[in-house]
Amino acid sequence: MTEKIIIQGIPYDEKSSYLQGARQAPPLIRKLFHSSSTNYFAENGVDTNSPYVVDKGDFEIKEYFDIEGITARHLEDKSRIVTLGGDHSITFPIIKAFAKTHSKIDLLHFDAHPDLYDELGGDKHSHACPFARIMEEGCVSRLVQVGIRTLNTHQKSQAEVFGVEIHEMKDLDISKIPDFENPVYISLDMDAFDPAFAPGVSHHEPGGLTSRQVIEIVQNIRQTVIGADIVEYNPKRDIQDITGALCAKMLKEFLGKMLEEKEQRPE
């Protein structure tokens, strides 16, 4: 097992359309991940306090596509990457970097919103647009969205154009989420969760996923998980670190999933 699992912090929220604050998230997620209130074991029994996990810290973002360059450097030795954001706009440049090193990627996206706008407020790189850009550029083979409950006419049309598979909350059946055929990248917007589980987000959208549902879906992935991001945690809106603790839990589950796969492969 030579490749590492890298944690990179992208404290960037310049593309937020409503409230900023997500740039403050990465160090707080780390603090709660390392808190003595819990331990490092994921639910699959894997210790995520592993020498194969390397935290590179947070990176100053001067220009939007600096994010792609930072990610590309971390992919040079075939590492996997978990990114702590940041608003959801960061996912597009991250996936652009992944697409240059992986011939086929399936993208699993948890969110209240499909983020498929062609543009928002004149900005094609708004945090409401990353998945439109990803699909336009053919960065992934498949996009599966889970938890959506704000699908409007424009974004429904965009989904049809791009062939997006949407599992809306109103008729969600976890058993119908398909198996993936290619390596998987997971993008987790914290507003995918119901606000009861994650009040610390900029866009409260009731009727969302439970923490157990998201964890179960992740645990059921059978393909290799090559990367993930946790975005849109806004500490300014949190209550007693409820959302931050959930971010740390999901970081642990993502790392546990990746480390489990490494342990199952021969040296």
Instruction: Note down pLDDT in tens along the chain; length 267 residues.
Output: 458 999 999 999 999 998 999 999 999 999 999 999 999 999 999 999 999 999 999 999 999 999 999 999 999 988 999 999 999 999 999 999 999 999 999 999 999 999 999 999 999 999 999 999 999 999 999 999 999 999 999 999 999 999 999 999 999 999 999 899 999 999 999 999 999 999 999 999 999 999 999 999 999 999 999 999 999 999 999 999 999 999 999 999 999 999 997 655 544
By 3-state DSSP, what share of the chain in percent is helix, strand and coil, each rounded to 5?
35, 20, 45
Instruction: Supply the pLDDT for residue 98.
Output: 98
Instruction: Supply the pLDDT for residue 262.
Output: 63
In contact, 5 and 14? CB cutoff 8 Å: no
In contact, 245 and 32? CB cutoff 8 Å: yes
| Long-range contact pairs involving 64-72 (C-beta distance under 8 Å, separation at least 24) | 64/12, 64/14, 64/15, 64/89, 64/93, 64/125, 65/93, 67/10, 67/12, 67/93, 67/94, 68/93, 68/94, 68/96, 68/97, 69/97, 70/8, 70/10, 71/8, 71/97, 71/98, 72/97, 72/100, 72/101
Assigned token pair, 119: 């543009």
Helix (H/G/I), strand (E/B), else coil: 145: strand
Give backbone dihedrals phi and psi of 81, rounded to 5 degrees, phi first: -135, 135
Residue 69 and residue 123: Cα distance in Å, rounded? Answer: 21
Instruction: Supply the pLDDT for residue 265.
Output: 52
Question: Rounded to two decimals, what is the model's pTM?
Answer: 0.96
